[in-house]
A and B are shown apart, each in its own frame.
Chain A
Amino acid sequence: MPRKIHVNDIIKTVEELCIKACVVVPCDIRRFMEGAVEKEEGLGKQILQDMLKNQDIAIADNLPICQDTGMVVVFVTIGQDVQIEGGSLGDAINQGVRDGYEKGLLRKSVVADPINRVNTKDNTPAVIHYNIVEGDGFHITVSPKGFGSENMSRLKMLVPSDGIEGVKKFIIETVVAADANACPPIVVGVGVGGSFEKSAIMAKEALMKPLDAHHPDPFWHNIEKELLAEINNLGIGPAGLGGRLTAMAVHINTYATHIAGLPLAVNIGCHVNRHEEASL
């Protein structure tokens, strides 16, 4: 017997996740920044203090933390024994986005065509990634992605001979080019391997991880640590105005790849790095 989930529950859930993600900074980022304030000085310290103050005001007055409430990226992990009733899953997710952006007074930042650029006025469509797994679970992650940091993300098809040095070099170059535009302190999401699009999706998924997560393979965990230290030596600092803290985390996801290839995607998350999730 399949487990049934009604689209109305999905609509409501997506609505709530959109609003929460845009108003409340993830608690691990909050804790991290509270700790980081002590280590920063001068302008950098003042900026981190303002970021914390901003988070407090957003919650107290129910305002979005940032005016750019993003384009909504959704990851759905759905068990193969789940049956959606009452309509289509994709329509339900978009309806949830529409309701959330209207009720939450969130900015509508989506244009229908990349060249003709007419605002859709309801922040739809969302970008939706489906992942089908065994069982009857239903898990959804909603990430309203700001484009200050999205625009500074990059993908490159490296070749096997580029090796780990080539991977590290490209990641650092991307962070250096992102500079203040990505609203540091940033989270760096990396996807290595797979195919062209797989690496990009892995990089995005990496931004959804808790700040203290790390790659299960010690080799890659060490690379994450090494890159984080190197990035925090660049001096870019909060808001790019100089300081110790440039990145809060580097998360790497890896996948098998082709004998000829070494795809590499670097997705940058800004200091609000919004993402909220729920299970139904």
Chain B
Amino acid sequence: MEIFTPLTTDAIKGLKAGQMVHITGHIYTARDAAHGRLIELLEAGRPMPFDFDGNIVFYAGPAPTPEGAACGSIGPTTAGRMDLYAPTLIKQGLKAMIGKGLRNDKVVAAIKDYDGVYFVGVGGVAALMSKCVTHVEVVAFDDLGTEAIRRLTVEKMPVIVAIDSEGRNVYER
């Protein structure tokens, strides 16, 4: 199934844990250092560098882009490291995240309470995944290098619904 960003609440509610979907549209990279900065901005009452509503954050930091390509190798990093920040961002309107690995109970609860979704990508298939990216633009924190926030334009990027809006979890084996 293909889904388009920004995601509507109806589209999110239609997703079921375990399902594979292909994302087309814009997604925003942010990992450890960028999350630290987003929280600092929030605490200072400053605006976010991009609109959260219906948007997807991709926990990732790409490798440098080769000549003639749109994006270097890219793939999900461990989402658990962002667990401390995710509920705060979800309360601010963030709807969806892409990462790898398990989330803690607080994140699962926030996903349920705010109709969110957590997708996982396969870690370490980053050359393959880079082929789904057609354009990259840095939107904030350029000084962070690979950890800057980038807007990626993606076409049919494959991910798996790991935690759906009802709190069902693909990792519960």
Contact = CB atoms under 8 A, between A and B. Distances in A.
Interface of A: 43, 47, 50-51, 53-54, 57-58, 61-69, 105-109, 117, 119, 121, 146, 148, 151, 179-181, 183, 235-236, 238-242, 270-272
Contacts of B123: 66, 148, 180, 183, 239, 270
Given A62-B66, A119-B144, A68 B77 contact: yes
Contact of A63 (B33, B63, B100, B102): B63
A65 B127 contact: yes
Contact of B64 (A106, A119, A183): A106
B130 interface: yes
Interface of B: 20, 33, 60-66, 69, 72-75, 77-78, 80, 100-102, 120, 122-131, 144-147, 160, 170-171, 173
A63 B66 CA distance: 8
Contact of B62 (A53, A67, A272): A67
Contacts of A57: 127-128, 131
A58 B69 CA distance: 13
Contact of A50 (B72, B73, B122): B122
B4 to A, nearest CB: 23
B100 A121 contact: no
A235 B62 contact: no
Nearest to B124: A66
7 contacts: A64-B63, A65-B124, A65-B126, A108-B145, A180-B171, A240-B100, A241-B170
A181 B73 contact: no
Contacts of A117: 33
Contact of A239 (B65, B122, B127): B122
B131 A148 contact: no
A183 B100 contact: yes
B73 A65 contact: yes
A106 B61 CA distance: 12
A117 B37 CA distance: 13
Contacts of B128: 50, 53-54, 57
Nearest to A117: B33
A192 B126 CA distance: 34
A67 B101 contact: no
Contact of A242 (B77, B145, B173): B173
A66 B145 CA distance: 17
A64 B61 CA distance: 13
A136 B129 CA distance: 45
Given A108-B145, A180-B101, A69 B80 contact: no
A16 B145 CA distance: 24
Given A67-B75, A68-B77, A117-B33, A180 B63 contact: no
